[in-house]
Amino acid sequence: MDVEISLARTPCITMQTRLYKMPLIGGIGMLGGMLPLLLGGDLRLFFFIMATLCGISMVLLLYRMGLDRQLLLMGLGVSMVINPNKFFLTTGVTRQHFGGIPAPFISLTDLVFFCMLIAMIVKSNKATWLNSFTLFEKLMIGFYVLAMAVSIPGSIEPPFGVYHLMFEFKCILLFVTVVGLGQERCLRETLSNMRLMFAGIAMGTLMEVVAVIVEYNGLIPPGTSFMGITVGGFKESLAGMLTSRVGGTYRHPNYLAIPMAAMLVPFTALALTNKKAWRFLFACATLSAGFCLALTLSRGGWLAACVSIAVCTMVMLSTKEGIRFIRRNSMLVSIILVVGLVTGLSLSDLIRYKLFHSDPTNIDARIALNDMALDIIKDHPLQGVGLNNSVQASEKYGMMEQFTTSVGLPPVIHNIYLLLAAEIGIPGLLAFVLFGASVCIKGFLVARRFRYIPEIALPLMALAAGLLAYLLADLFGPGLRKQEIAYQYWWHLGCVLLYTNALLDQLGITHDGEK
């Protein structure tokens, strides 16, 4: 039986309240009609605001119909896969504040999770919500935000840092919102909420694989855009041949590879622990994520997926209950393995070329960028050069002109940890790493306590392994600077902590580890 999120229900509207609110509604209508004049004739902005208001009205209508919980949670999942940094309107809806940076007004993901946040705040236990985080987790998040904020004033372009700080704050707010879904301290409700969110992610992944197949077969031109959703990758020379590397709606193969690698194990775990239609959905999502990951030809994504699969498999095989669980689900496991093997064999030549015949120029360029990051860290160890200012600082180190001339791209550091240390200092990097690692380790430890109940332990173990995939993949790129990936990473962190807290509550243990 589904359990509702704690949402305040509004009373029925009587005729008296309708009459009372008519002047207010009329005033809002007049203001809406005057918006084109107030906005200087910018019709794109007018249509954007109208679309946003219509979206909010639709959510409120669904809320009154009792369908808000399912649609909000599943909508959040879908939106995080399908281009969440643009609203479904047009790529031209931007504003040029913050130093001329094209800044999206609001994304579909923002709209959904803000509605969730408001709905939970209306009727929530603030003390329970705050107690969902340990003191260490609060300190690390706080110190990470402080390090980002402190780095901005002395940077070359402070507006760049302000814009990115706003985005990081939204990601952390998403994390807090997801953890807040566990306020009722009910394992059944937590599992239901997580399944709905992952169902949305699974549906988004199925849409993504369609875009990838269409792109790979050249059925659409590169960079095709529809309602703000752009599909595109690029061609790379491997062993003297031009080979397509798909980017899907993430618009870059390496960016597409990271979430696909991180979702591979959780999708598999959910397919094994659910029945009927849910099992079919998550099994299809597993195969779709694996197929997308293979076609990206991303070595970092492959490594992250292999490590997360290996870790989760070893932990499952370490107990008799885990072995028996895999045997009970041997048919589904065999199907996934066979399809994966067939896909790998069909792409074996491309995989071999990518692993052993890649252009060394790309690797040399990344090494040069990471060397520059080490020089920046040596010169600015505590405060960095400023949040989102490493590209501007590269001019001082002689890399800006070199890259823009030879490659035609800005010199972006291709290691998220070096990038963070260079921009916000070593203390800020330590806060970021310690927070992510603590949530990941906590998830593994709690899953281990339930290892004799694989149906409960496996999803949490898979979530923690997926989180590990994010942290590993970004050793080779700046993935967490991509809005889509950053959203998914912080959402994933929230899911691990949400499930961990629910299991600790079952044991009668506080989230600080005390009885």
CB-based contact 374:418 (threshold 8 Å): yes
Regions of the chain with pLDDT less than 70? 1-68, 83-107, 122-128, 184-185, 223, 225-228, 237, 239-240, 357, 359-361, 405-408, 508-515
In this predicted structure, what is the pLDDT of residue 418? 93
CB-based contact 258:470 (threshold 8 Å): yes
The helix/strand/coil state of 23 is: helix
In this predicted structure, what is the pLDDT of residue 37? 46
In this predicted structure, what is the pLDDT of residue 43? 57
In this predicted structure, what is the pLDDT of residue 95? 41
In this predicted structure, what is the pLDDT of residue 139? 94
Torsion of CA 423, 493, 195, 473, to 10 degrees: 60
The helix/strand/coil state of 456 is: helix
Sign of the alpha-carbon torsion through 247, 252, 257, 263: negative
β-sheet bridge partners, residue 243: 236
* Distances, alpha carbon 283 to alpha carbons 98, 109, 331, 454, in Å: 44, 25, 12, 18
Q: In 297-319, which ranges are continuous DSSP H helix?
A: 299-316
Residues 6+ apart with CB under 8 A from 44: 90, 92, 93
The helix/strand/coil state of 244 is: strand
Task: Give 153-199 as a DSSP string.
Answer: TTSS-HHHHHHHHHHHHHHHHHHHHHHGGGTT--HHHHHHHHHHHHH
Closest CA to 489 of 167, 86, 166: 167
In this predicted structure, what is the pLDDT of residue 103? 43
State the burial class of residue 479 (Cβ atoms within 10 Å of its Cβ: 0-12, 13-18, 19+).
buried
CB-based contact 424:147 (threshold 8 Å): yes
Residue-wise pLDDT tens digits, 465-510:
999 999 999 888 888 888 788 889 999 999 999 999 888 887 765 5
Q: In 360-399, which ranges are continuous DSSP H helix?
A: 360-379, 390-393
CB-based contact 497:136 (threshold 8 Å): no
Residues 6+ apart with CB under 8 A from 353: 238, 239, 241, 243
Sign of the alpha-carbon torsion through 434, 438, 440, 445: positive
Rounded Cα distance between 398 and 404, Å, is 11
Residues 6+ apart with CB under 8 A from 212: 246, 248, 256, 291, 292, 295
CB-based contact 372:311 (threshold 8 Å): no
* Distances, alpha carbon 96 to alpha carbons 84, 103, 159, 498, in Å: 20, 7, 11, 37
Tell if the pTM clears 0.75, that is, is over it.
yes
Torsion of CA 86, 92, 96, 102, to 10 degrees: 40
The per-type count for the chain, helices as H runs and strands as E runs, is: 21, 6
The helix/strand/coil state of 95 is: strand
Rounded Cα distance between 380 and 396, Å, is 13
In this predicted structure, what is the pLDDT of residue 44? 58
Q: Which residues of 15-25 are buried (b: 16+ CB within 10 A; e: fewer)?
A: eeeeeeeeeee
Element (H, E) at 107: none
Q: Which residues of 286-295 are buried (b: 16+ CB within 10 A; e: fewer)?
A: bbbbbbbbbb
192 phi, psi to nearest 5 deg = -65, -45
The helix/strand/coil state of 229 is: strand
State the burial class of residue 51 (Cβ atoms within 10 Å of its Cβ: 0-12, 13-18, 19+).
middle
